[in-house]
Amino acid sequence: MSEVQLAENSAVASAENLPDEQPLYPHSVRAEQSLKNMLGFSRHLLLKHPSLALTLFYLLASSLGLFLTVELLSRFDFSILPYLELTDFLLAAIVNPRSLVISALFFLLYFSLIVLDKKCRQWWACYAWAMEWNQRMTRWIPMWLSAVFGGMAYLYFSGLVAAQQIYQDIQDKVSPEFSLSLIYPMNPGGKETRMLQPVQLISRTSGYLVLYHEKQVMLIPHANVAAFVPLKKAVPVPAAKLAASAPESGKAADTATAVAPEKEPKKAA
């Protein structure tokens, strides 16, 4: 074998033994690979066991709905926990449809952030460097643990915001009002009555309606409800429209006074 062939063979052997080129952002690449593995496992679980995935989603929404109910009533200084049953947890997502919407928005937002993060790392080097530094600092935290912690934080603060919004609507009397007829009379304030109106619905459980009436929280058993009828609210007239219609009504009154014929005096008998 010639010296030229020996040199070529040694060059090829040395090239094969060279280490692979290191990526520019190794921690980001490692985190992205972990995320792909986690999403692949979730996709496999969803396709192979769709009923299990739907059950987990509904349990998540029910937990959020129960938290929303407890947090809302705590703003009225009322604890609903002693009156709750197991069925209230199972039906919490139906009683509070906002929990279903918030849970669905969480998954939509999560996958949107994954796509946006990848695009931003490709577009801006400063963002890629910042994410690399962040992944280096949190490399000991598993990806699934970060996702669970972030999801719980999102659901917690979303429940607080939703509870505050419902509470403010009830205080401002923006929420719907109802007329409640009872089978058995009640004695609020020492006065017996079978009808309460207007009342606002705060929440409901398997055994009670939780109402707001005259700045008080009332628990009415379903067995004592004869009728629960929504009331029509009067549409408020804007102040500008009232001011514009005032002169027109004054003119109409003056015209009617001017046009009206004077009555003839009665003749003496």
Distance, CA of 65 to CA of 223 (rounded, Å): 24
Contact 69, 97 (CB under 8 A): no
Residue 200's pLDDT band, with cuts at 50, 70 and 90, is very high
Residue 262, pLDDT above cutoff 60 = no
Residue 20, pLDDT above cutoff 60 = no
pLDDT at position 43 is 79
Distance, CA of 118 to CA of 36 (rounded, Å): 12
Residue 148, pLDDT above cutoff 60 = yes
Residue 184, pLDDT above cutoff 50 = yes
- What average pLDDT does this structure show over 222-245? 71
Contact 163, 122 (CB under 8 A): no
Distance, CA of 51 to CA of 45 (rounded, Å): 10
Contact 85, 112 (CB under 8 A): no
More confidently predicted of 161 and 114: 161
Distance, CA of 195 to CA of 189 (rounded, Å): 14
Q: What string of DSSP letters covers 105-164?
A: HHHHHHHHHHHHHHHHHHH-HHHHHHHHHHHHHTTTS-HHHHHHHHHHHHHHHHHHHHHH
